[in-house]
Amino acid sequence: MNREKMKDKLQSKVVKKLNYFDYAATAPMRDEALEVYSEFAKMNFGNTQSLHDVGTRAAQVVAACQQFWGRQLGGDSSGVFFTGNASEANQLAIRGFVKGKSGKILACPLEHASVLTVLGELQTEGFEIEWMKLAPSGEVDLEAVARQIDSSYLLMICQWVNSETGIIQPVEQLVKLAATYKIPFHCDAVQGFGKCSLEKWTSEVASFVVSGHKFGGPKGCGVVWMNPAYHWQSVYSGTTHQQGFRAGTLDVAAIAATTRAAELALLEQKALYQRVKELHDVIHKSLPDEIEVVGSRTKKSPFILGVLGFGVDGQHTMLEGNRRGFAFSTGSACKVGHGEAMSTLTSLKYSQDEAKQFVRFSFGRQTTQEQVNQLTQWLQQRRTP
């Protein structure tokens, strides 16, 4: 099949007309990021470990990208590392802090699957995993954590923005609690970076994880800042790349494209936040009375709208929406069919029957008022049986 026929087949009329509301799963690459990727893949293809000029140029590109990320996060650029994705970054960071140790880890129960998975593994290896208590609103209960925490904990873990509900956690206050006892604090910031305003606490965490494809960069590039003030160990002995943080040749083009997408996302963040909030609120206010917005009782990101109450399994609602020209999800794409949304909702005290009805709409830079109007019309027509 020649290139044009393949392109026509992949870009069917159905796909072109689909109204996309799954930006929390992934976002289209920005044109600017695609241009950078193409240019750097051709001109800076060298291995950063090579000592000749081609390798040196590639290493210089990566160093410039590290400096950008260091400036944005308020930290030392020597702590910036690149991975194959944010899930890998979460796991390497968490394991790096506790390698060679034993003891307790305190975590938010609403974490992404990549964090919950590594915590489950660590538990089988003898670590004690304790969970932060949640307030009825879905936020971490700060008073309960303050009573629970002491210097015996090896690590604290809490996401910035929940990927199912958009609930924003009080990370700044949690970081201060952790600092009181000199406990490293790990933050999965995937759903917040480029969407919510960066705050000073980013320079005070022990580790901070970002995913390029959530804000218009390429898939296959995670970014993690490991605060040099905290000690960590290489997870895999003998690793030489990136100071031992992660093995493997760096994808220079993906790193450069991710950094360009991040630069633009941060420049546009305030305006995009306000526009998306307006679109989010239009849908929220138009929902039928029987539909509940999960997380609506606390501070949440307008980029995510998780709802319950359609009266049928969320998979059914999603498939019906797909037939009507709407792309949305039943939860995190990283664990579809494996119950991450179920885990989040049961942690928020919903029953399993209620949790099975969950669907998530998420918004991005290319979401339009017309798309929102069409979705609103469909939701108003769709009533529970």
As annotated, the active-site residues are 334
Q: What is the CA radius of gyration of the chain?
A: 21
Helix (H) or strand (E) holding 307: strand 304-308
Sign of CA dihedral 17, 20, 26, 30: positive
Instruction: Give CA–CA dist 29/216, Å, rounded.
Output: 4
Residue with tokens 């990320």: 69
Instruction: Give CA–CA dist 24/363, Å, rounded.
Output: 7
Residue with tokens 């060679």: 100
Q: What share of the chain is helix, strand, coil (3-state, %, to 5)?
A: 45, 15, 40
Amino acid at 317: T
| Structure token pair of residue 231 | 């000690």
Amino acid at 377: Q
Cβ–Cβ < 8 Å for 28, 218: no
| 3-state class (DSSP) for residue 32 | helix
Instruction: Give CA–CA dist 37/254, Å, rounded.
Output: 6
Q: Residues with Cβ < 8 Å from 206, sequence gap 6 or more? A: 97, 155, 184, 185, 186, 226, 227, 229, 230
Residue with tokens 């293809």: 45
| 3-state class (DSSP) for residue 163 | coil
Helix (H) or strand (E) holding 208: strand 207-211
| Structure token pair of residue 62 | 């990566």
Q: Provide the 8-state DSSP code for 135.
A: P
| Structure token pair of residue 290 | 């029987």
φ/ψ of 11, rounded to 5, equals -95, 70
